[in-house]
Structure 1
């Protein structure tokens, strides 16, 4: 069984939970500081790059990408 890495991605701006499917099932949390945190599993680096391309295509500012556990 392959280990799956979990990531936390912070974006500038507020996105509601309806974007979860678009971001591959990630959990979206609107923070009080006006940012959104996406949290979820990423199977490999190609999937991570695809997720980051979605962020870029949306036109929001990427604040940080952190691995939570691997």
Structure 2
């Protein structure tokens, strides 16, 4: 990825949302490096929060794999949405700008 292709500051962690099939309790937060764990409808769990770099993101993906949880999606959250979430206390909006590809299972 080209450094000019991103809207986040180079020194700032990028916020990701990782959706997995299955429920995880909040007791897994430390193991997932402080990501917020949110149980979702339909049996999914959303892991969200800042990820310092691509190596850390790959480490999180390994942890998902090691737990045997099917990966549903990984989305990079744009800076504008991240700022809005801070203001809205983490509320989801259906018209959010996302960057990333869905992973079909």
TM-score by length of 2: 0.64
Secondary structure, aligned partner of 1:51: helix
| Rg larger in structure | 2
* 1:59 aligned to which of 44, 59, 68: 68
Instruction: Provide the aligned length of Structure 1 versus Structure 2.
Output: 70
Name the structure 2 match of 1:14: 23
d(CA) in 1 for partners of 2:78, 2:12: 10
1:33 deviates by 1.3
d(CA) in 2 for partners of 1:46, 1:63: 20
- Structure with the larger strand share: 1
Name the structure 2 match of 1:33: 42
Secondary structure, aligned partner of 1:21: coil
CA RMSD of aligned residues (A): 1.2
Secondary structure, aligned partner of 2:77: strand
1:69 deviates by 2.6
In the TM superposition, structure 1's runs of 4+ consecutive aligned residues that sit over 3 Å from their partners are none
Secondary structure, aligned partner of 1:33: helix
d(CA) in 2 for partners of 1:31, 1:64: 13
- Structure with the larger helix share: 2
TM-score by length of 1: 0.94
